[in-house]
């Protein structure tokens, strides 16, 4: 039975699960472009759309290592950024610390970020031993076009209109990008990449262990058994046993060392990188340059900044009001990430200023992590500080 908790501020007794679902077993099978087309048709039906085939396909392609790596590159930069909760422009350190140390922050921020990948996310808040937690509901059970939630996504009976529930906006939070998500554009590239990998592995098997042919008197049982045992003992390669009067010929195929598959895999990897990170990073190329990699990192950072703006909007319009109603944080707070500083440029400015002005050692330690202490005259001290900082960054 679901446990219950009472919210003193809202004055409601809320069940742990407002939108329960039935756990389903998922059978995995080979996916192809036809599977993707069928899932798209079901998701884009005007009257009764169904999202579960497409969401299951998204979960399947996320087993790709490159796609997972590119997504994590953006997500981890988002989580590594510091944030503040402010009231009338003043940072509220206590409220910021409460939110940063809670499980809710990581769970809700993940749901916000994933909404642009999957198309939508719905999180349900609940109390668990005096700890507020957020759980992302299975996207297979949700049809955001109609605002429906199915307890069993294979059963069309009795869906819940989650946007009309009294808990919506406080205990049930929705983050919707309004589309099918970025993963929809990655599906064909991942499927073609898997096809190329499968064909390439078969080619390696054929070239590495060629088949063998043995001619013998197949009418003689003893000779046939001895020949079969001999072929088994020679290794694991495929073999054929034919009669002395028979002829077996192999069709002449295209002579290749697998470049066609390698090129297809490389193209698919490049498309996935462009889709997720906006550039082809060094991990995807054989011949890279420092300038190219720096530009690629700058482009990726622009996408991360866009992720921050999106997350800030979701927190300020959806999550912060809900947490305030529940009583976790005070009313009227605004969420914002701290602006990232270019440490290298800041050091260049600092080095020039040290020739004319005194810079507090505490500030230098906080910004650059260098221990600086006054030892002699101000002029000598500033020159020494400049040399220490310059040697540290070089």
295 domain-assigned: no
The answer to whether position 331 is within a domain reads: no
One domain, residues 132 and 225: no
336 lies in some domain: no
- Cβ density class 251-280: b for 16+ within 10 Å, e for less: eeeeeeeeeebeebbbebbbbbbeebbbbb
Tell me how many domains the chain contains: 3
My answer on whether 388 and 276 are in the same domain is no
* Tokens of residue 372, six digits: 């600086």
Pairwise CA distance, residues 336 & 309, whole Å:
9
CA distance 108 to 100: 12
Could you tell me if residue 299 is inside a domain? Answer: no
Classify residue 140 by its DSSP letter.
G
110 and 167 part of one domain: yes
**Domain match, 157 and 229 both:** no
Predicted confidence (pLDDT) at residue 118 exceeds the cutoff of 80: yes
- Is residue 106 located within the same domain as residue 156? yes
Same domain, 11 and 74: yes
393 — pLDDT class (breaks 50, 70, 90): low
Same domain for 58 and 137, yes or no, is yes
Question: Do 51 and 171 have their domain in common?
Answer: yes
Residue 6 clears pLDDT 60, i.e. is over it: no
Is 131 found in the same domain as 150? yes
249 and 347 both lie in a single domain = no
User: Would you say 19 and 162 are in contact if contact means Cβ atoms under 8 Å apart?
Assistant: yes
Domain range for 366: 343-393
Stretch 199-224: mean pLDDT: 80
Q: Are 157 and 146 in contact (CB under 8 A)?
A: no
Lowest mean pLDDT among 89-98, 211-220, 375-384: 375-384
pLDDT at residue 244 in the model: 79
* Shared domain check, 102 and 199: no
Please report whether residue 133 resides in a domain.
Answer: yes
For 296, residues 6+ apart whose C-beta sits below 8 A from its C-beta are: 277, 279, 280, 281, 282
Residues 217-236: b if buried by 16+ CB within 10 A, e if exposed: eeeeeeebeebeeebeeeee
Computed on alpha carbons and rounded to an integer, the radius of gyration of the chain in Å comes to 31
pLDDT for 124-140, tens place per residue?
A: 999 888 888 899 999 99
pLDDT recorded at residue 7: 46
Identify whether 300 is part of a domain: no
What angle in degrees, to the nearest 10, is found between the helix axes of 290-314 and 65-80?
Answer: 60
pLDDT tens column, 352-362: 667 767 777 77
Is residue 4's pLDDT more than 60? Answer: no
* Cα separations in angstroms, 132 against 9, 103, 333, 384: 14, 7, 18, 51
Task: Judge whether 359 and 102 are in contact, CB under 8 Å.
Answer: no
Reply yes or no on whether the pLDDT at 37 is more than 70: yes
Contacts for 75 with CB less than 8 Å, ≥ 6 apart:
110, 113
27 is a domain residue: yes
Residue 127 burial (CB count, 10 A): 16
Token pair 């990232």 is found at: 340
Query: Which residue has better confidence, 218 or 340?
Result: 218
- How many alpha carbons fall within 13 Å on the CB side of residue 35? 19
The pairing of beta strand 142-143 with beta strand 131-136: unpaired
Residue 139 lies in a domain: yes
52-82 pLDDT, tens per residue? 999 999 999 999 999 999 999 889 988 888 8
- Say whether both 157 and 39 belong to one domain: yes
**Strand 212-216 to strand 239-243: parallel, antiparallel, or no bridges (unpaired)?**
parallel
């Amino acid at each position: 039975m679901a446990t219950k908790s009472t919210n003193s501020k809202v004055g409601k007794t809320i069940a742990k699960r407002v939108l329960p679902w039935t756990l389903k077993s998922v059978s995995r099978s080979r996916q192809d472009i036809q599977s993707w087309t069928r899932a798209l048709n079901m998701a884009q039906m005007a009257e009764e759309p169904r999202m579960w085939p497409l969401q299951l396909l998204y979960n399947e392609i996320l087993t790709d290592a490159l796609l997972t790596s590119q997504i994590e590159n953006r997500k981890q930069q988002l989580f590594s950024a510091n944030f503040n909760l402010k009231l009338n422009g003043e940072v509220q350190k206590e409220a910021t610390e409460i939110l940063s140390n809670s499980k809710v922050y990581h769970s809700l921020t993940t749901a916000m970020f994933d909404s642009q990948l999957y198309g939508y996310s719905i999180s349900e808040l609940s109390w668990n031993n005096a700890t507020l937690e957020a759980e992302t509901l299975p996207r297979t059970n949700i049809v955001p076009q109609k605002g429906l939630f199915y307890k069993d996504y294979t059963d069309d009976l009795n869906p819940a209109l989650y946007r009309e529930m009294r808990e919506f906006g406080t205990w049930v939070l929705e983050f919707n990008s309004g589309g099918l998500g970025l993963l929809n554009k990655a599906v064909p590239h991942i499927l073609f990449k898997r096809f190329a990998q499968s064909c390439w592995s078969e080619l390696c098997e054929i070239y590495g262990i060629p088949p063998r042919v043995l001619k013998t008197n197949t009418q003689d049982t003893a000779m046939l058994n001895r020949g079969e045992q001999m072929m088994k003992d020679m290794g694991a390669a495929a073999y054929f046993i034919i009669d002395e009067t028979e002829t077996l010929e192999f069709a002449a195929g295209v002579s290749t060392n697998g470049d066609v598959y390698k090129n297809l895999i490389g193209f698919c990897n490049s498309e996935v990188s462009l889709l997720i990170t906006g550039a082809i990073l060094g991990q995807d190329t054989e011949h890279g340059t420092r300038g190219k990699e720096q530009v690629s990192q700058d482009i990726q950072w622009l996408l991360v900044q866009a992720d921050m703006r999106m997350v800030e909007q979701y927190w300020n319009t959806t999550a912060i009001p809900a947490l305030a109603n529940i009583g976790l944080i005070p009313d009227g707070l605004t969420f914002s990430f701290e602006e990232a500083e270019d440490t290298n440029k800041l050091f260049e400015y600092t080095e020039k200023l040290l020739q004319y002005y005194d810079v507090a050692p505490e500030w230098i330690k906080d910004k650059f992590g260098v221990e600086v202490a006054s030892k002699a005259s101000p002029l000598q001290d500033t020159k020494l500080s400049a040399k220490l900082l310059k040697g540290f960054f070089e």
